[in-house]
Structure 1
Amino acid sequence: MTVVSRTWRRFVIRHDLCKHLSLQMFPQLSRVDHVNKLGGSTKGHARVGSSNIMEWEALEREHRAYAFLARCYRVARTASYWSSKGQRNPVVPETLTYRLIADLYVVTEIKIRPFQAYFQFGYLIYSAKSVRFRMGHIKDADESCQDSDTDRFAWTHTSLEFEMAQENRLQTFKLPEPCQDSGQ
């Protein structure tokens, strides 16, 4: 928004375009009541004639918050790879844990491409029969269990189990509804 004219910027802010876009993409955000400025001081009494200024500052603050959220919605286009020793028994589960670098994330789908070993006879494909996704965050230190990795997390979303095609192609697994949480 810094490249466009002031008039256009005011139009975008006055008509809540970033907020409307965010709510259209993620209706769960409709539960947000208002936006507070962190680290700012709350003024007890407004001066006479300053209500328009205060209203404009509130609109700008809300615009910045929703514009920030819109930037967070962008999908990182970097690939992630994993390797394991594998199992002969197909019922043995395998868990991969990723830490997302964003402070706030919204996941709508996950894409996976099974590995095909072109260097092996028969070009074997290494793929899970099915996948399930869990999203959450690390528990507070006082409530965290040290028994296993899964006990260290507070899971806020667990998907259904998705069947994987045993093919060397990018497969998309769409979640029934967007999942949002913090990446901490």
Structure 2
Amino acid sequence: MADCCDFLEPLGPDASTRVFTLLDDPADLVRATAVSRSWRRFVIENGFSKSLCTRKFPEVLNFSSVSEVSDSSKNAQVGSSSAFEWANLQKEHRVYAMLCHSIISPDNKGDCIYTPVYASSTDNYPDEGIENTLEPDEAVDGMPSYWSSGGQSDPGVSEFLIYSLTGNLVVVNEIKIQPFEAFFQPGHPIYSAKFVRFRMGASQWIQDGYAEHQLATDDNYHWTYVSPEFPMTQENVLQSFKLPRPVCCIGGILQIELIGRVQRQAADGLFYICVCHVQVVGTPLQPSFDVDIEASSSGTMALKYFPESYESFTHKRGGTTSTEDPVRAFINFGSDRGLNHPFLGTLLRALHSSDEEDYVDDSDDNFY
């Protein structure tokens, strides 16, 4: 160990930054902060946890600020501007490391639709309303269950459906849509769209009460993610549209854009789009995280982290009711590497320690 040296000094800040940005797991950055004082300060001062999180999930850039909300937290004692700045940097490091880990490793994936909000048009309301798309069956009480758009002579006219998800922060992996097959019409036509595209974000109107004309205006939404277009097949099956990566839906609003029409109705010669069922596969991040959305056109968003709730959540994930450090759960579920390392105890204190002197061994200032 006497021959070891800290590569930060000979490499310099620029080359060292290139090395640290190669780390692709937030747990690795937490491990790095446990190596030495210089590594901890370098990782935190350069905001590598935030950079990794925003690099993997660009929608996170919409957060204007972050905060920690803890029932047991002590009042911060800040004696100077530099101490205040260091405390804020440590907070950002903790919050973004935990957020990135939570998005990467979500558990208990399920249908995350809370309620339907709005459809751009409906042919026969309420019999063919958007509420029917939450029914898993094609028929309810012997009656067909589906949403139908209004008819159009132009097959290029698109439609959209808007849903509220089960929280302000939801990790979405895929969306499933089943076009409707009109088994009561000659030939059993299937009224699918040509393509689908998804938008995720927030709306002040849905949170504060809304009128229908506000829901129809795209300017009243703050979209933080827009997917590529996916082709839809003209088949009566639940079609899966897997996103290129997990997406953090900030604001809990999903818009499904149905692009183009393929089926003309024989009775009136107009084109329709009909959807039988919709599912959103993902994981809510509440109660560990939440977001405050300013009710204004700016759509300012502030991320809130609840350490006690994160700890409670990790207990459930691990199947234990015993007290467990949330950082231990972070390391255990983030990666299996290094779990038997002799300095694991030191590592587990690295993320939540507010004083680097609390966990750095003075016997070796560079490496353990």
Question: TM bucket by the smaller chain?
Answer: 0.5 to 0.7
Matched residue, 2:110:
75
Number of the residue aligned with 2:234 = 166
Q: How does 1:1-184 map to 2 (within 5 A)?
A: 31=53, 36-43=68-75, 70=106, 74-76=109-111, 80=134, 81-139=146-204, 148-180=216-248, 181-183=250-252
Q: Conserved in 1, the CA contact under 8 Å of 2:192 and 2:234?
A: yes
Post-superposition offset of 1:170: 1.5
Change beyond 3 A, Cα 1:138–1:40 = farther
What is the identity percentage for the equivalent residue pairs of Structure 1 and Structure 2?
42
Answer 1 or 2: which has greater strand percent. 2
Shift, 1:169, TM fit: 1.2
Stretch of structure 1 that moved more, 145-154 or 111-120: 145-154
Q: Is the alpha carbon distance of 1:167 and 1:36 closer, same or farther for their aligned partners in structure 2, counting shifts above 3 Å?
A: same
Choose between structure 1 and 2: higher helix proportion. Answer: 2
Distance in 2, matches of 1:38 and 1:87, equals 54
Unaligned runs of 5+ in 2: 1-25, 28-49, 55-65, 78-93, 114-132, 135-145, 208-212, 254-368
Could you give the per-residue CA deviations for residues 73-103 of structure 1, whole angstroms, max 9, x where no partner exists?
5212876253222323111111111111323
Larger radius of gyration: 2
Mind listing any 5+ residue stretches in structure 1 that lack a counterpart?
1-18, 21-27, 46-57
Measured in 2, the distance between the counterparts of 1:86 and 1:177 equals 35
Give secondary structure in 1 for the equivalent of 2:164. coil
The amino acid across from 1:31 in the alignment is C
Q: Please list the CA deviations of residues 130-154 of structure 1 after superposition, one character each: whole Å capped at 9, or x if unmatched.
A: 111111111489xxx9595211100
Provide the aligned C-alpha RMSD in A.
Answer: 3.8
Retained in 1: the 8 A contact 2:203–2:251? no
Q: Distance in 1 between matches of 2:70 and 2:220?
A: 29
TM-score for both structures, normalised by structure 2: 0.31
The answer on whether the counterparts of 2:112 and 2:166 sit within 8 Å (CA) in structure 1 is no
Structure-1 separation of matches of 2:230 and 2:153:
21
Q: How many residues align?
A: 136
